[in-house]
Chain A
C-alpha cells in the first residue's frame, strides 16, 4: 500500500507539473500563420523577452475559440473575425498574399480576376477557353471553414458559389501536391506555400500582376488577407501583455522576413 501511495503522489506531482509554466506563451490557431509565428516570431520572443512559445496549428476557428474560452494565451486567425466573434480583440500582425496555382505543365500563366471567379464557379470548364490545352479544368479547393478558402472566396468573388464538382483538399500542402500531380488542376495556396513549391507548381499572374509580396504592397496583386492575433483584453496576464506589446511594435516588422507583407 505504501508503494501505491508513493506512485500516486508522484503521479499527482507530475500532473501539477503539466500545468502552465510561467515562462511559456501558448498560441493556438491558423495553419497558415504557423510558420510565421513559430519560425519567425517565436525565436525573437525568446531572445527579446525570454518566453518560450508553444504554437498549436489547428485552424483559424479553433484559434478564435481558444482565445474566447481562454484555453490559450492567444489565438491566431488567417481570416477576419465573423460577426458573432466581434467580442474579441485582435490586431493585424501581417498580410499574406494568396496565389492561384496551376501545374508546371500548364501553358496558361496569366488570367483576369473575372476569369478566376468564373473558373471557381464552374462557368469556365475547359483550359482552351483561356488559351490552354483542350482539357477539363479540375478545380481544387480548401475545405469549408478554412481561412484561406473564405479569404479567396471573398477576394476573388465566388462566395458560396464554388462549383459542386471541386476536389477538396485539406491544408495548403495537400492543395499544392494535388495540383502538382494533375496537369489539369487549378487551386490556391498562400504565398509561403507557393515559395516552398515553386519547383512543382506555378503561381498565375492576376490582371497582369505576378503573385509577389511587392505587388501586394503596391496593391497591384488583388488576392491578399490579414494574419490576426486574437485575444481577450480581460484575460491577459502581465506576461501576455508584454508579448502583445512586443508583437505590436517589433513583431510586425519581421513580416517581410517570412515572405509576408508588413501591416
Chain B
C-alpha cells in the first residue's frame, strides 16, 4: 500500500467516527425513547404524553406538553430580545465603527461567547432572580422571565459573531455602487448591506435558537422546574425539556428513565429541524 492510499483511508476512518457517533446517538435515542410506548406492562397514550401538563413520575403521570411550551416560549422570547440588539450591534461594528474602536467590542463579544453556561446560570440565580422577585406576584424570582433573560445573554454573542461575519462577507462593490447612486451611509447599510447578508444573519439566528433550546445547566438554575402547569405569565415557573432530563436522570429507573430518553428524542427532533433550516438558509445564501 502506498502512502497516499494509507493517508486517504486513515482520514476516511477518522471522518467516519463522527458520522458513526451521530448514527449511534440517533439509533440509541429512538430505541430508548420509543420503548415505553410499546411496553406491554405500561399504558401511556402518546398523545397524553405530548399534551400533558403534569409530570409526576412517582404517580405514573407523564406529560411533557407544558415543558415543550415552556422551552419554546423561553427560546422565542430570548430570540425576540436578541435579534434587534444583535443586528444593530453588528451593523455598528462592521459599518460604522473605525477598526480601532470596533476591536475591543469584538474582543468582549468573543469573550462573552466563551463563558461557560453554568456561569450565566449563577449570574441569573444571584442577580436576576432576586431582582425579578421584587416585582413578581408569585414570591419567587425563578421564572420564565429569568430563563428568557439568561438565554438572551447567552445567545447574543453567537448571533452577533455570525452576523458580523456575514456582514463582512458582503462585497464592497455593493456599498460603492449604492453610495455612487446617491444613497447615504444609513440607506446603504439597511437597504443594501443588511438585505444582502440576510441569509447569513438568518442562519445565525437559527443557530442561536438551537443553542437556546438545548441549553441545560444555566436554565435549570433559574427555571424553577415546576412539576406541572403551562406558564400563564412571564412570572410563572417553567420546566424546560433539558432541565427535565438533567434533573431526574441520576435517580430515574424503569419506564421513568426511558421517558427521559423520550424527552431527549423530542429535543433532538427540534434541534434537527432547526439545523436543517439553518443549512437551507446558508445554501440559499450561497446560490445568490
Contacts and interface: CB of A to CB of B under 8 A. Distances in A.
A and B together in one complex: yes
Contact of A168 (B59, B138, B226): B226
B248 interface: yes
Given A182-B133, A185-B140, A165 B251 contact: no
Interface stretch (A55-63, A195-203, A233-241): A55-63
Contact of A177 (B58, B125, B250): B125
Contact of B250 (A59, A162, A167): A59
B241 to A, nearest CB: 14
Interface stretch (A94-102, A130-138, A246-254): A130-138
B226 to A, nearest CB: 6
Contacts of B280: none
Nearest to A85: B253
Given A65-B253, A182-B133, A143 B237 contact: no
A144 interface: yes
Interface in A128-162: 135-138, 143-147, 150, 159-160, 162
A150 B248 CA distance: 13
Interface residues of A, number: 34
Given A138-B139, A164-B54, A184-B140, A170 B229 contact: no
Interface string B121-136: 0000110011001000
A137 B239 contact: no
Contacts of B247: 143, 168, 170
A143 B251 contact: yes
Q: Is the interface of A mostly helix, strand, loop or mixed?
A: loop
A146 B139 contact: no
Contacts, number: 96
A31 B247 CA distance: 13
A146 B225 CA distance: 15
A137 B138 CA distance: 9
A20 to B, nearest CB: 23
Most-contacted residue by chain B among A59, A150, A165, A174 (CB, 10 A): A165
Contacts of A184: 133, 139-140
A124 interface: no
B77 interface: no
B229 A164 contact: yes
Given A61-B253, A143-B248, A166 B57 contact: no
Interface in B49-80: 54-59
B140 A167 contact: yes
A169 interface: yes
B251 A135 contact: no
B46 interface: no
Nearest to A137: B139
B106 interface: no
A145 B57 contact: yes
B74 to A, nearest CB: 16
B246 interface: yes
Contacts of A146: 251
Nearest to A167: B224
Contact of A144 (B58, B129, B141): B58
A114 interface: no
Interface string B5-27: 00000000000000000000000
Contacts of B139: 135-138, 182, 184
A144 B142 contact: no
B178 interface: no
B246 A168 contact: no
A57 B55 CA distance: 25
A165 B250 contact: no
Interface in A11-36: 31
A136 B138 contact: yes
A181 interface: yes
B225 A164 contact: no
B226 A166 contact: yes
A164 B253 CA distance: 22
For the complex of A and B, list the 8 residue pairs with the smallest distance between their C-beta atoms, beginning with the closest: A145-B251, A136-B139, A59-B250, A168-B225, A164-B228, A143-B247, A59-B251, A184-B139
Interface of B: 54-59, 125-126, 129-130, 133, 138-142, 220-221, 224-229, 237, 239, 246-248, 250-253, 256
Given A145-B252, A150-B58, A168-B239, 19 more contacts: A59-B250, A61-B250, A65-B253, A137-B139, A138-B138, A144-B251, A144-B252, A145-B57, A165-B138, A165-B229, A167-B142, A167-B224, A167-B226, A169-B225, A170-B220, A178-B125, A181-B126, A181-B130, A182-B133
Interface of A: 31, 58-62, 65, 135-138, 143-147, 150, 159-160, 162, 164-170, 174, 177-178, 181-182, 184-185
14 contacts: A59-B250, A61-B251, A61-B253, A65-B253, A136-B139, A137-B139, A144-B256, A165-B237, A166-B226, A166-B227, A168-B227, A170-B250, A181-B129, A182-B133
